[in-house]
Amino acid sequence: MPTARFVLRWLVEESQGERGERKAAGVGSWEKQKIQQLAEWLIEQGLGALAYGRCAESELALRRCLQGDMFSAAAESSMKQEQLKQILQGLAQAEIPVVLLKGAALSLTVYEDPAWRTMSDVDLWLPANAMAKAAQVMVDLGYTMQGKEERPFALQQLSRGEIQWVLPQQMESLIEFHWSPYSGWWLVRTAAVNDTGIWTRQENLPEQTNVGQMAPEDIVIHLAVHTAVNHQFGLSALRSLVDIALTANKREVDWNIVAKRARAWRVSIAVYIVLDLLAQLIGVEGIETSLTPLRPSKLRRWLISQFVTPQTVLAGRDLRSGAKRFLLLLLLVDRVRDMVKLIGRTLWPEQEWLEARYGGSVKHWGHLRQIIMTREV
């Protein structure tokens, strides 16, 4: 099978000319079994539709193997884009501004065809003071709110999380309204992200009213943190690297700004690990500019390498369950004192956290007992 770097570079090459340079070594010359293996791997990584779109005339065998995945992606994309269109129209009529996040923005801006960027849900960032008004828009459109017992609404709001919406007749049509692009207790307790600055720097989407996307440097940091912290490199990590590479190709990322903001927001280690993977697995011009000022100590890099390497990402290693993910999350914290704070507040949380999570029925010792019994936090 061709090297992963070759395949990933092929996926993000911007022009037909660049792809033509690789035609001599293209997939048209690969053995049938290897082509099938490659197709299965691409589909597993959420990259099948993009690869289908990238296939040239000499790569018809791979294109045939990916055809079913492309048809499925196109149907799903059509449904989600129609959903998004209706919701944005409703929010616009209510004069509610919105910033598209992750796949919702990327599919419309850096991918040549929205269907090439699959997504399991649609993520929208709204002003906190507009959430109630936006909720009424969703109810009027036929959506219902859903949630989990261990993640009640009050706790989601406290952690700057999201409100989930679904159509009763289409339970897979998940829409998420976010209080912040950076949600979760790891970020609340260890980082210092400037949401106001991100919102101010947003760029309008063409032909849209009150709809924006984050500035390219902010998107890079967001994707990196989301990959490292929210998913611990276990969910579509390679697709996230492709997202960042395509963003750099299409939107001229200033890597010096990326490094400066990541350090100021105390997410430099998480961003470094993701960008270092990007440099090794794909390669993006100028990315080394941000790596040097973000590079953690040799010891920290070695410790993290026990959990995450280019090889583990290519193999799809999932750390999202089990004790190892907690160790990884600690190692991704920039400052040692914030590591201590994260451990302390996880075991002995703020009073407002207890009230939001348990409704006032459980105290600190009860929370500790819950952790011991369930082995979850």
* DSSP collapsed to 3 states, the chain: CCCHHHHHHHHHCCCHHHHHHCHHHCHHHCCHHHHHHHHHHHHHCCCHHHHHHHCCHHHHHHHHHHHHHHHHHHHHHHHHHHHHHHHHHHHHHCCCCEEEEHHHHHHHHCCCCHHHCCCCEEEEECCHHHHHHHHHHHHHCCCEEECECCECHHHHHHCCCEEEEEECCEEEEEEEEECCCCCCHHHHHHCCCCHHHHHHHCEECCCCCCEEECCHHHHHHHHHHHHHHHCCCCCCHHHHHHHHHHHHHHHCCCHHHHHHHHHHCCCHHHHHHHHHHHHHHCCCCCCHHHHHHHCCCHHHHHHHHCCCCHHHHHCCCCCCCCCHHHHHHHHCCCCHHHHHHHHHHHHCCCHHHHHHHHCCCCCHHHHHHHHHHHCCC
Q: What is the pLDDT of residues 58-110, one digit of tens each?
A: 688 899 999 999 999 999 999 999 999 999 999 999 999 999 999 999 999 99
Q: Is the per-residue pLDDT at 128 higher than 80?
A: yes
* Distance (Å, whole) CA 145 – CA 135: 9
Q: Quote the pLDDT of residue 289.
A: 85
pLDDT of residue 57: 67
Confidence at 155, pLDDT banded by 50, 70, 90: confident
For residues 294 and 262, the answer to whether their CB atoms sit within 8 Å is yes
Q: Residue 214 in contact with residue 243, Cβ under 8 Å?
A: no
Q: What is the pLDDT of residue 363?
A: 84
Half-sphere CA count of 110, side-chain side, radius 13 A: 30
Dihedrals φ, ψ of 60, to 5°?
A: -65, -30
Q: How far apart are CA 139 and CA 87, in angstroms?
A: 11
Distance CA 42, CA 64 (A): 13
Percentage of the chain exceeding pLDDT 70: 93
Confidence at 44, pLDDT banded by 50, 70, 90: very high
Least-confidence region, from 92-106, 165-179, 208-222, 288-302: 165-179
d(CA 51, CA 143): 34
pLDDT value at residue 14: 58
| Whole-structure pTM value | 0.92
The two structure tokens encoding residue 331: 């190692």
Residue-averaged pLDDT of the chain: 89
pLDDT at 17: 47
- Give the domains, in start order, of the chain with CATH numbers: 4-334 (3.30.460.40)
CB 49 within 8 A of CB 118: yes
Q: Is the pLDDT of residue 26 over 60?
A: no
Contact between 224 and 244 (Cβ < 8 Å) = yes
When pLDDT is averaged across residues 147-160 and rounded to a whole number, the result is 79
Contact predicate 201/183, CB 8 Å: no
Residues 6+ apart with CB under 8 A from 155: 161, 353, 356, 357
